[in-house]
Structure 1
Amino acid sequence: MRRMNEARPIRPDIGAGRLAPEALADNFSDIHPPLEAHEALVEADRCYFCYDAPCMTACPTAIDIPLFIRKIQTGNPTGAAQTILSSNILGGMCARVCPTETLCEEVCVREVGEGKPVKIGLLQRFATDHLMEKGGHPFVRAEPTGKRVAVVGAGPAGLSCAHRLALHGHEVTLYDAREKPGGLNEYGIAAYKATEGFAQREVDFVLSIGGITLETGRALGRDIHLADLRRDFDAVFLGLGLAGVNALGAEGETSTGSADAVAWIADLRQTTDLASLPVGRRVVVIGGGMTAVDAAVQARALGAEEVTIAYRRGQDAMNASAYEQEIAQTRGVHIRCHLQPRRILTQGGHVSGIELERTTVEDGRLVGTGEIVTIEADQVFKAIGQSFLPDGLASEDAGVVLERGRIRVDAERRSSLDRVWAGGDCIAEGEDLTVVAVEDGKVAAESIHAVLSAQQGLGARIADAVSGAVEALSPGRM
């Protein structure tokens, strides 16, 4: 094999406080400053309010986009927010993190005709921020039904499901393994996309509907068990997310300085002092998705001097959108493609570089060329996907069928086990998007509500029939 750019021996350098507090604050400021009221009116006026709006079809939660924009245009941002939240209760976060450039805005008639879509995401944020700043909750719970539902996982799918069930009058107990709710929105989103503690403010907003009891630090299979939940509740929803991280399978993977990008981003999101978070001078991120981009951009924002994303296929095959790739590149991240990791080089047990092999595609298959490229690094992040850990579902009596390593569900998000539904990244159809997880939770909640309502109706009919029979047998009727 031919080797190129062989790494020189270097002293690993991972440290904190590389940048001044002012520079850090600027680097982690809101990537999309919100629209002012006048700007929102001008932008709303650009909408054609299409009758067969393609933007609405492209939205996984089917928000009535023309209607909410019309309400903004007529000076009713509160009404606009109600329209948004009736379809997507996490509309505030989705306005910040949704890849609108590949969803609603990609099919906007303005984009197709002029190459400049209506800024749907920013308009959605304008409306939802307005309502949340105003305070209160836009919806009122139905009368209590007496039915109880357990929701496991307080991420986007679980929060969406819990809110919709509470709205219908059911009592919900919401469990999460971590100490803070929010799931991906709290622990996995780049800090510059959701600033000023927005994830927790949105959780508080969702829970303010009432009827939801939150229990954190409670993991399925450790603190709570599916058999017990099925016994104690009328229905169960599983929004477990993806807790496992795929391994590189490369020599030196466990060396000091080699880290899981997901865990590192979670640490960054929870730190109260960015200047205290160590980062290398030379950072390499392996992967081509959103996690890889988020890790790379934030490493650069913390003061890393050289940050490289290494991806095994071509740039057009990256899961990160073209827009996200552009963010990375404009912030000083190098994207190098057709490179797959072979081994992590070490010096004294610490990462000193990474050895990669050039790849090519032959007959539709990715193959190595034998050419080796070495990149100096003192920190390597792996971001090559996550996997579902079926904790609490492994016992023989659990009965939840997996498909492609995740929970199999039907169109209503019912699992194979009676009275158990699931949604979000943990299901076979999961798409690793907040907005898709929100839709899963909503669909499951409506299915659960229909089942519980039918049971309640049957119970009432049986009670009436029994009452009638007792009355017929009473002494006065005989």
Structure 2
Amino acid sequence: MSEAVRQRDVRAGRLDADTYEELFSDLHPPLDRHEAHVEADRCYFCYDAPCMTACPTSIDIPMFIREISTDNPIGAAKTIFDQNIFGGMCARVCPTETLCEEVCVREIAEGKPVKIGQLQRYATDRAMAEERQFYERAASTGKRVAVVGAGPAGLACAHRLAMKGHDVDVFEAREKAGGLNEFGIAAYKTPDGFAQAEVDYITAVGGIEVHYGKQLGRDIALAGLAADYDAVFLGMGLAGVNALGNADTDAEGSIDAVSWIGELRQAGDVASIPVGRRVVVIGGGMTAVDAAVQAKALGADEVTICYRGPKERMKASEFEQELAKIRGVTVRYNMSPKQMIATDGAVSGMVFERDGETVEIACDEVMKAIGQAFAPDALNGSAEAISLSGGRIGVDEEGRTSMPMVWAGGDCADAGDDLTVTAVAQGRDAAESIHQALVAS
């Protein structure tokens, strides 16, 4: 082992088992019945409901909170699932502090909003625990739809289409469904295998068959799907990874944050995942925070998030930024990456420019969380039939692409803000549009 690698000090099992359990435990422990009722009673049940307007899936928030307050959590769950079949996951990972809770009248008047996200989790968890299914498949229409990608957009689309009696084949590149819900979100946000439990709950409606290890452009082709199926929905997310340009290197210790988070999520034991002693995370979104907080939780001595812009431009919410700091992560702003330093083929530092000055941070791992990119090669010869917009698939307000009977939604489409809840809304709305087109054909 070279001196540089020894200096990197990247290893697993830095902490004891109890510490891992504490640091990777549920970020927001669920409310019990009494806590849920107390919180529900804080809601004013506003007639114009700004919280509902702020929700990308337009859940009737006052209604489901009222149902909780009258001790009807199952009814509340149905109100939620009617609009958002991923209501359980969104209750855990949605940035409610910048959506529904930010416009809550209690927040504006008192600086303390109703805990909408936690109430949503209370209701949806109850329904899922009791295996209460609210939807039955309509009579078969004889129509077949191909959905590419088993993430939030794809499964939301598949569920709504299956409800309406269409047969849906979902093609997923990985060996597990869930998309970023399964592979790209911090383990402490969705512990105890919740992502897969939610997939099972959603597909239990019937009429949905998931085919694993089927990647668009490698194993299946869009032209073939369009010929074999009555309609196609593209929800494969973003396969490409943005690079640091001249500041990047292939040195050992230069890591893609999304891939690293996925590896951590799939580990049977988090203690088995090695981490450096001094880690730099480059980026300003929730992925950067998720990577940084988990690197610290694995036992890194120093973890620093370096964001190229000012604090107010950081995509991670104020809550996420504060969470990182509380968990021992240093957050530095206006840090523009200039050079990754490597010694004997291993990362040993990062050089940044900040306010015209050069700043060097010694580190043994650099995690890049600077976003993902759409890989148009996946369209495999059909790119000329589908117009791109902003480097992604161009769609109209219903999710239609420029290719007949092909829709798209989620991160691969140029129509949202890369949030789980937005992807769900786009998949659901595209399904309604697909249904109308199939009925008319």
TM-score for the superposition, normalised by structure 2: 0.98
Secondary structure, aligned partner of 1:17: coil
Counterparts of 1:9-88 in structure 2, within 5 Å, are 11-88=7-84
Q: Does 1:304 align with 2:300?
A: yes
The corresponding residue for 2:223 is 227
Secondary structure, aligned partner of 2:65: helix
Q: Is the 8 A contact 1:352 1:378 kept in 2?
A: yes
Q: Does 1:429 align with 2:425?
A: no
The corresponding residue for 1:147 is 143
Secondary structure, aligned partner of 2:246: coil
Runs of 4+ in 1 over 6 A off after TM superposition: none
* 1-structure distance, mates of 2:166, 2:22: 44
Q: Which whole-Å deviations, capped at 9, do the CAs of 1:120-155 have from their partners, x for residues lacking one?
A: 000000000000000141111111111110000000
Q: CA deviation at 1:286?
A: 0.6
Q: 1:277 aligns with which of 260, 273, 278?
A: 273
Q: Does 1:90 align with 2:86?
A: yes
Paired-residue identity, %? 63
Q: Which whole-Å deviations, capped at 9, do the CAs of 1:35-73 have from their partners, x for residues lacking one?
A: 000110111011111111000000000000000001001
Secondary structure, aligned partner of 1:57: helix
Secondary structure, aligned partner of 2:437: helix
The number of residue pairs the alignment matches comes to 438
The corresponding residue for 2:156 is 160
The corresponding residue for 1:102 is 98
Q: CA deviation at 1:391?
A: 3.2
* 2-structure distance, mates of 1:180, 1:22: 29
* 1-structure distance, mates of 2:91, 2:248: 40
Q: Does 1:445 align with 2:425?
A: no
Counterpart amino acid of 2:207? G
Q: Does 1:195 align with 2:191?
A: yes
Q: Does 1:121 align with 2:117?
A: yes
The corresponding residue for 1:410 is 396
Q: Does 1:390 align with 2:390?
A: no
Counterpart amino acid of 2:318? A
The corresponding residue for 2:133 is 137
Q: Which whole-Å deviations, capped at 9, do the CAs of 1:303-323 have from their partners, x for residues lacking one?
A: 001000011111111000000
Q: Is the 8 A contact 2:221 2:380 kept in 1?
A: no
* 1-structure distance, mates of 2:359, 2:297: 26
Q: Which whole-Å deviations, capped at 9, do the CAs of 1:155-214 have from their partners, x for residues lacking one?
A: 000010000000111100011000000001000011000010000000000000000011
The corresponding residue for 1:400 is 386
Q: Does 1:244 align with 2:230?
A: no
Bigger CA radius of gyration: 1
* 2-structure distance, mates of 1:250, 1:22: 42
Unaligned runs of 5+ in 2: none
Q: Is the 8 A contact 1:413 1:444 kept in 2?
A: yes
Q: CA deviation at 1:347?
A: 1.8
Secondary structure, aligned partner of 1:137: coil
Q: CA deviation at 1:216?
A: 0.8
The corresponding residue for 2:177 is 181
Counterparts of 1:246-261 in structure 2, within 5 Å, are 246-251=242-247, 253-261=249-257
Q: CA deviation at 1:22?
A: 1.1
Q: Is the 8 A contact 1:312 1:339 kept in 2?
A: yes
Q: Which whole-Å deviations, capped at 9, do the CAs of 1:77-98 have from their partners, x for residues lacking one?
A: 0000000000000000000000
TM-score for the superposition, normalised by structure 1: 0.90
Q: Is the 8 A contact 2:247 2:337 kept in 1?
A: no
* 1-structure distance, mates of 2:48, 2:390: 36
Compare 388-397 and 438-447 and name the one that shifted more: 388-397
Secondary structure, aligned partner of 1:265: helix
* 1-structure distance, mates of 2:247, 2:129: 51
* 2-structure distance, mates of 1:396, 1:62: 34
Unaligned runs of 5+ in 1: 1-7, 360-368, 456-478
Counterpart amino acid of 1:167? M
Is the alpha carbon distance of 1:397 and 1:190 closer, same or farther for their aligned partners in structure 2, counting shifts above 3 Å?
A: closer
Counterpart amino acid of 2:399? R
* 2-structure distance, mates of 1:227, 1:337: 46
